[in-house]
């Protein structure tokens, strides 16, 4: 009921949020739409401004042509000395360069900077910048085609006129009146030919200005029409958005009203449930306070509850709430007594104290705490309970073992009596020396029996894995046999059987039975004890082992990749024992990958040889082995798995088989594997067997 009420509240809240979101989306849509159309209109205005800029540049070119014409005539009629003519010629060249610059802007786009003289006191000139963007750079500018050749022609005419005027000055200085008069007549004829040139160049430019003005008028008319269309379209879209928002608002408001009524009904039921929960809470509190040991409940950051035993142990507090005001964690009272077996509030390889306890349930954890009566010793356990996807609680239980610890301390003091220990040990040594040979034989025999038991225990452990693998492999064939037989039975009952169908069904069942028979044969071969050493192919043994584990690997979506450098890798020893080693390592890799929840699990097996050995590498991508565990991984009864999942003898027996029975080497290391630009860490078991 509480969940339903909360769900209804969340549903109503989500509807309100959706309603507000709709208004916001509507407003944002209107603003965005308006800005979009403003941008379109701005682009149209820019297009007009660009054409106006083109016309202004053309007008500047016309004005410059008038000034060039004036300077050209001034060159002959005004300039009376060479210095004056040079000054006018330079001015002509500058004006031509200015026109060429304007033509470059018309051809390629850019900025045209012009200085305008004002003849105002204190403000003699101003600078004007015209920006022009070339819309289509593939179209050749007609202005440049018309004017550039004429500007070149004008410069040539100016050079020719300068030469004539320089000769006139020479004839004048030498008083050669005849040549001077002749040359003056030639200059006069030359000038008579120039008006037509200036008229043509000016008319061409004015024609282009006229065409530009017509184009500008067409663009303005087109822009005005498009503006009207944009404004009409904007009005339609604005009306559509407003209408849509109003319709959705109506339906959402209706749903919110319905949810409010449901919520009122749920609140009434919730109050009734809360009364029941209070009664249950009182009963739970009675059970918790009845426990003799201290029980603390934490959310991982602070204590959220505890039983009365906590307040009774620590003097000076009336209730748990008083205790919580001063202390957020029970770990505030952990005492350091210089004993590594006692937990402290310190870092344990990246884990805090309660995480360390949870991750090591097989160990007996202890803490020391003080109260007014003195130092007390407790055994401590911690369990994590998941409440939902994000929340959890830690339940910590402390059991007072002070009496047991004190008894142990007294025994330790008694054992400190060195004289008694020395006498006892001396007597033991005398007895051992008297029966040394007998003792050695007995111990050797005990070790042999121990090894046999451990091998048998390892085989029994492997048997459990094998039964699981066989169950995986038999599931599909048995299902297929059952389906085929059922189909045949149904056809026979309906009288629609045919000999061909029956024969095909028999063949299918026989095929599945052969597969099951081969599975049993593989199972028998694995547990057949090797009587003597044999020559065998390592690749063949590995393939048989992979066949046994294939079903469980497939069930866990683990991919296996094999890389064989040679066609065969021959060694000498016990092939079935080697198969047991392969299965131990492969099963450990499967368990490590499953516990680590790898997204793309894989196991890579490399077989190659060097001068003296065949090398087998089995690499997983499960995150590798912790540094603190890698040196102990081959110790007997050492395991990182839960006690219900592993015995800790598999890798120990694997090392014994490889190094003592087959004269090889077995080691492990962590490796970094690079795949698709990502680095993964994994464990690599390396087996070295002698070549023959």
pLDDT at 113: 84
Confidence check: pLDDT of 658 > 60: yes
536 — pLDDT class (breaks 50, 70, 90): very high
CB neighbour list of residue 617: distance below 8 Å, 6 or more residues apart: 604, 605, 606, 607, 684, 685, 686, 687
Q: What is the mean pLDDT of residues 416-421?
A: 65
In 10 A of CB 229, how many CB atoms? 10
Instruction: Assign 468 a pLDDT band (cuts: 50, 70, 90).
Output: low
**CATH label, 533-690, candidates 1.10.510.10, 3.30.565.10, 3.90.380.10, 3.40.50.720:** 3.30.565.10
Buried b (16+ CB within 10 A) or exposed e, 500-510: eeeeebeebbe
Strands (E), 401-445: none
Q: If you average pLDDT over residues 394-423, what whole number do you get? A: 78
Task: Report the range out of 238-242, 288-292, 330-334, 611-615 with the highest average pLDDT.
Answer: 611-615
Indicate whether 551 pLDDT > 90. no
Per residue, what are the HEC states of 81-142?
CHHHHHHHHHHHHHHHHHHHHHHHHHHHCEEEEEEEEEEECCEEEEEEEEEECCCCCCCCCH
Residue 402 has pLDDT above 50, yes or no: yes
Sheet with 366-371, side-by-side order of all strands: 303-306, 294-298, 392-400, 374-386, 366-371
Q: Which of 379, 304, 385, 298 is CA-nearest to residue 343?
A: 379
Q: What pLDDT is stored for residue 666 in this prediction? A: 96
Taking the C-alpha atoms of residue 536 and residue 575, their distance in angstroms, rounded to an integer, is 7
Q: Which of 203-217, 236-250, 676-690 has maximum average pLDDT?
A: 676-690
**pLDDT at res. 139:** 53
Q: Dump pLDDT digits (tens) for 591-617.
A: 899 988 888 899 999 999 999 999 999
Enumerate residues 6+ apart whose C-beta is below 8 A from 188. none
More confident residue, 604 or 471: 604
The interaxial angle of helices 436-494 and 538-555, nearest 10 deg, is: 60
Pairing of strands 559-564, 602-609: parallel
Region 529-539: mean pLDDT is: 81
* pLDDT exceeds cutoff 80 at 231: no
CA 310 to CA 293: how far, in whole Å? 8
Position with higher pLDDT, 167 vs 559: 559
In the chain, CATH 3.30.450.20 sits at 292-415
* Fold of the 419-528 domain: Helix Hairpins (1.10.287)
Confidence (pLDDT) at 347: 85
**Domain covering 292-415: architecture:** 2-Layer Sandwich (3.30)
The pLDDT-based confidence of 453 (bands split at 50, 70, 90) is: low
What's the token pair of residue 25? 């989306």
Report the length, in residues, of the chain.
692
In the predicted model, what is the mean pLDDT of residues 617-625? 93
pLDDT of residue 2 exceeding 50: no
Global confidence as pTM: 0.33
pLDDT at 43: 72
pLDDT digits (tens, 9 = 90+) for 492-522: 777 776 777 677 666 667 755 655 665 565 5
Q: How confident is the model at residue 157 (pLDDT cuts 50, 70, 90)?
A: confident
Are residues 535 and 570 in contact, defined by beta-carbon separation less than 8 angstroms?
yes
| pLDDT given for residue 644 in this prediction | 44
- Which residues, 6+ apart, have CB-to-CB distance to 396 below 8 Å? 295, 296, 297, 298, 330, 354, 380, 381, 382
The Cα-based distances of 410 to 403, 549, 586, 654 in angstroms read: 11, 54, 49, 43
Question: Is residue 487 pLDDT above 60, yes or no?
Answer: yes
Name residue, tokens 């070295």: 688
Distance CA 497, CA 493 (A): 9
The segment(s) of the chain belonging to CATH 3.30.565.10 are 533-690
Using a pLDDT cut of 70, give the percent of the chain over it: 74
Position with higher pLDDT, 266 vs 383: 383
Q: Would you say 373 and 387 are in contact if contact means Cβ atoms under 8 Å apart?
A: no
Long-range CB pairs of 377-384, under 8 A, 24+ apart, other chains included: 377/401, 377/402, 377/404, 377/405, 378/294, 378/402, 380/343, 381/357, 382/354, 382/357, 382/358, 383/358, 384/358
Q: Which residue did the predictor score with more confidence, 256 or 403? A: 403
The predicted pLDDT at position 36 comes to: 75
What are the pLDDT digits (tens) for 298-323? 888 888 888 888 888 887 788 888 88
Distances 501 to 476, 506, 645, 647, 675 between C-alpha atoms, Å: 21, 9, 47, 51, 49
For residue 212, give every residue at least 6 positions away whose Cβ sits within 8 Å of its Cβ, in sequence order, or none: 51, 54, 55, 58
Helix axes 436-494, 575-596, angle to 10 degrees: 70
Sequence ranges of the chain with CATH classification 1.10.287.130? 419-528
Q: Give percent helix, percent strand, percent coil of the chain, each to the nearest 5.
A: 65, 15, 20
- The average pLDDT across 409-418 equals 71
Helix (H) or strand (E) holding 596: helix 575-596
State the chain's mean pLDDT as an integer.
77
pLDDT digits (tens, 9 = 90+) for 330-386: 888 898 888 888 888 888 888 888 888 898 888 888 999 988 888 899 999 998 888
Q: Is the pLDDT of residue 58 over 90?
A: no
Q: Which of 227-241, 349-363, 416-430, 463-477 has the lowest mean pLDDT?
A: 463-477
The predicted model gives 175-189 an average pLDDT of 79
**pLDDT attached to residue 350:** 86
């Amino acid at each position: 009921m509480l969940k339903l009420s909360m769900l209804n509240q969340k549903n109503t809240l989500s509807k309100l949020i959706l309603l507000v979101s709709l208004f916001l989306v509507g407003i944002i849509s209107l603003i965005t739409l308006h800005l979009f159309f403003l941008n379109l209109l701005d682009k149209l205005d820019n297009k007009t401004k660009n054409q106006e800029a083109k016309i202004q540049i053309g007008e500047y070119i016309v004005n410059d042509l008038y000034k060039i014409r004036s300077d050209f005539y001034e060159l002959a009629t005004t300039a009376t000395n060479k210095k004056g003519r040079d000054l006018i010629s330079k001015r002509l060249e500058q004006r031509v360069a200015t026109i060429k610059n304007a033509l470059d802007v018309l051809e390629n786009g850019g900025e045209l900077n012009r200085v305008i003289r004002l003849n105002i006191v204190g403000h003699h000139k101003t600078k004007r910048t015209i920006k022009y963007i070339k819309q289509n750079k593939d179209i050749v500018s007609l202005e440049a085609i018309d004017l550039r050749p004429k500007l070149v022609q004008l410069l040539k005419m100016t050079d020719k006129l300068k030469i004539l005027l320089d000769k006139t000055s020479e004839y004048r200085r030498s008083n050669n009146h005849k040549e001077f008069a002749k040359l003056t007549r030639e200059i006069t004829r030359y000038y008579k030919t120039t008006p037509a040139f200036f008229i043509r160049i000016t008319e061409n430019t004015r024609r282009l200005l006229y065409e530009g003005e017509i184009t500008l008028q067409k663009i303005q008319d087109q822009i005005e029409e498009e503006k009207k269309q944009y404004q009409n379209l904007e009005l339609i879209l604005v009306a559509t958005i407003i209408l849509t928002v109003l319709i959705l608002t109506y339906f959402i408001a209706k749903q919110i009203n319905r949810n409010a009524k449901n919520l009122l009904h749920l609140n009434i039921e919730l109050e009734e449930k809360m009364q029941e929960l209070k009664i249950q809470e009182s009963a739970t509190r009675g059970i918790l306070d009845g426990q003799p040991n201290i029980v603390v409940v934490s959310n991982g950051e602070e204590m959220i509850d505890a039983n009365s035993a906590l307040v009774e142990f620590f003097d000076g507090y009336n209730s748990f709430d008083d205790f919580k005001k001063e202390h957020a964690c029970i770990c505030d009272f952990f005492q350091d007594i210089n004993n590594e077996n006692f937990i402290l509030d310190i870092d344990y390889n990246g884990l805090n104290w309660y995480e360390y306890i949870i991750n090591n349930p097989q160990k007996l954890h202890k803490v020391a705490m003080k109260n007014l009566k003195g130092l007390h010793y407790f055994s401590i356990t911690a369990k994590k309970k998941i409440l939902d996807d994000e929340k959890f609680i830690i339940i910590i239980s402390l059991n007072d073992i002070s009496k047991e610890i004190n008894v142990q301390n007294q025994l330790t003091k008694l054992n400190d009596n060195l004289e008694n220990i020395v006498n006892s040990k001396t007597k033991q040594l005398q007895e051992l020396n008297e029966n040394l040979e007998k003792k050695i034989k007995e111990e050797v025999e005990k070790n042999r029996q121990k090894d046999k038991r451990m091998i048998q225990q390892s085989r029994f452990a492997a048997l459990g894995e094998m039964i699981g693998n066989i169950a995986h492999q038999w599931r599909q064939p048995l299902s297929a046999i059952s389906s085929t037989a059922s189909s045949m039975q149904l056809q026979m009952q309906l009288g629609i059987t045919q000999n061909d169908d029956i024969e095909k069904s028999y063949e299918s069942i026989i095929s599945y039975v052969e597969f099951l028979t081969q599975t049993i044969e593989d199972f028998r071969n694995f547990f057949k004890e090797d009587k003597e050493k044999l020559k065998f192919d390592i690749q063949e043994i590995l393939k048989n082992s992979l066949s046994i584990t294939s079903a469980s690997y497939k069930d866990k979506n683990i991919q296996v990749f094999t890389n064989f450098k040679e066609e065969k890798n021959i060694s000498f020893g016990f092939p079935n024992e080697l198969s047991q080693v392969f299965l131990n390592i492969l099963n450990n890799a499967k368990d490590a990958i499953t516990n680590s929840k790898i997204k793309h699990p894989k196991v890579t097996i490399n077989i190659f040889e060097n001068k003296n050995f065949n090398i087998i590498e089995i690499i997983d991508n499960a995150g590798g082995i912790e540094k603190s565990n890698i040196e102990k991984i081959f110790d007997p009864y050492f395991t990182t798995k839960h006690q219900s999942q592993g015995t800790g003898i598999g890798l120990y027996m694997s090392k014994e088989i490889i190094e003592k029975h087959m004269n090889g080497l077995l080691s492990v290391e962590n490796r970094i594997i690079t795949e698709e630009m990502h680095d993964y860490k994994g464990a690599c078991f390396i087996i070295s067997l002698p070549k023959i």
